[in-house]
Structure 1
Amino acid sequence: MTLPNILCVLRLLAAPIVAALIYKGEATLAATLFAVSAITDAVDGYLARRWRQISVLGQMLDPLADKALINLSYIAAAAAGPLPWWLALLVLARDVIILAGALLSRALHLGHDLLPLAIGKISTALQMILMVVTLGSGILGVNTFAIPEALIVAVTVVTIASGVLYAGSWLLHLVARRQPAP
């Protein structure tokens, strides 16, 4: 197994630990482990490209690890109180839509893997930034209302937009596959 894939596996294993720490109110430990895990997201992709170690396993592990880290953290933060439930459920719904499209494509042999879109990467980055800010406010003892509303709005808008664009990409591919060849 390559180092980039090992980093993905470590991020995947860290996700439930981060969520448990968030839920228990261990903001410093949760923030540290979340930040290190988020950094590995950039590092594993960089190393895979730089060392030419891009693999099918890595292409599956990387988004799975990201989704596990983000979704479990958001659910824990909503359950513990610093983030609203509607936001955690929105982030989860987007990822369920993306995952359902990918699984359905494979099951129907449509040959369409949902390639990463720029807005998807922006969405993931903003979601991670919001979690770091949320955990940081917990470390500093700042009231949860100190989380910038603009950041919550940005995460909401970009999460919705990326979900719509991924769903649209999948639907366009499905329609194109049903068109008779000229």
Structure 2
Amino acid sequence: MPGQPHTDPVVPRARVANIANMLTGVRLALVPVFLAALFVGDGHETFWRVIAFVIFTVAVLTDRLDGALARSYGMVTEFGTLVDPIADKALIGAALIGLSMLGDLPWWLTVVILVREIGITVLRFAVLRRGVIPASRGGKLKTLVQAVAIGLFVLPLSGAWLAGAWVIMWVAVVLTVVTGADYVVSAIRDSRTRPAS
């Protein structure tokens, strides 16, 4: 009807203030709590490393949960699609830097992963005017493998367990580089085929 605002009855706009986005906020809030537990004492106290692992695991699980809720209950928003990967990168980045500061991971590994993560985040902002680019399946797998590898390094492991953690970490590094390159190629291809608005 003339004079009335147009609304789309088929695809209602999800509210930004929803449970999925709140879980993303919780994950961001857990980052400094995780770091505080990781650095208690000399950073290698078994009890506090286990506590840090539990906090890290809870934060990672909020990522699985908020994504499932957003998709299942129509809570997907542009805000959530953009902020969710930023929260992931904040958690992963804080953990990698913390572990490197404690001498548990080499700095080159942390730099390789963070350059990819920061680069993709900058690229997301650069193409934002053309629409938010959601995480690919490869990107989600990369995030999961990174989380498992980092979680194992947060735990006070040794021997065969530590060797297993290194195997998973190498897989995470390979996935990080490959999915990063794929994301850049996809963004370039998309920018060439999609008409400017």
| Equivalent in the alignment of 1:13 | 29
Residues 124 and 133, structure 2, Cα contact 8 Å, conserved in 1: yes
2:7 corresponds to? none
CA RMSD of aligned residues (A): 2.1
Aligned counterparts of 1:61 and 1:9: Cα–Cα separation in 2: 9
Q: Given the alignment, which residue of 67, 70, 86 partners 1:48?
A: 70
Counterparts of residues 116-127 of structure 1 (less than 5 Å):
116-127=135-146
User: For residue 6 of structure 2, what is the aligned residue in structure 1?
Assistant: none
Residue in 1 that maps onto 2:50: 28
Q: Counterpart of 2:8?
A: none
Deviation at 1:143, TM superposition (A): 6.2
Amino acid at match of 1:162: T
1:15-164, aligned counterparts within 5 Å?
A: 15-24=31-40, 25=43, 26-106=48-128, 109=129, 111-136=130-155, 138=156, 140=157, 142=158, 146-148=162-164, 149-164=166-181
Q: Which residue of 2 aligns with 1:176?
A: 193
Aligned residues of 1:23 and 1:77 also touching (Cα < 8 A):
no
Gaps of at least 5 residues in structure 1 are none
Distance (whole Å) between structure 1 residues aligned to residue 195 and residue 75 of structure 2:
35
Structure 2 SS opposite 1:53: coil
2:34 aligned counterpart, secondary structure: helix
Give secondary structure in 2 for the equivalent of 1:64.
Answer: helix
Query: Identity of aligned pairs, percent?
Result: 27
Match of 1:4 in 2: 20
Q: Distance in 2 between matches of 1:91 and 1:19?
A: 18
Instruction: Verify the 8 A CA contact 2:31 2:91 in the aligned structure 1.
Output: yes
Counting matched residue pairs gives 173
Q: 2: distance between equivalents of 1:91 and 1:80?
A: 17
Amino acid at match of 1:169: S
TM, length-normalised to structure 1: 0.86
**C-alpha separation in 1, matches of 2:69 and 2:195:** 38
Instruction: Give the match's secondary structure for 1:83.
Output: coil
Q: Greater CA radius of gyration, 1 or 2?
A: 2
Question: Structure 1 residues 20, 62: closer, same or farther in 2, change over 3 A?
Answer: same
Identify, as 1 or 2, the structure richer in helix: 1
Q: CA deviation at 1:150?
A: 1.8
CA deviations 1:45-98 (Å, max 9, x no partner) are 111222222222221221111111111111111111111111111111111111
CA distance in 2 between counterparts of 1:176 and 1:86 reads: 36
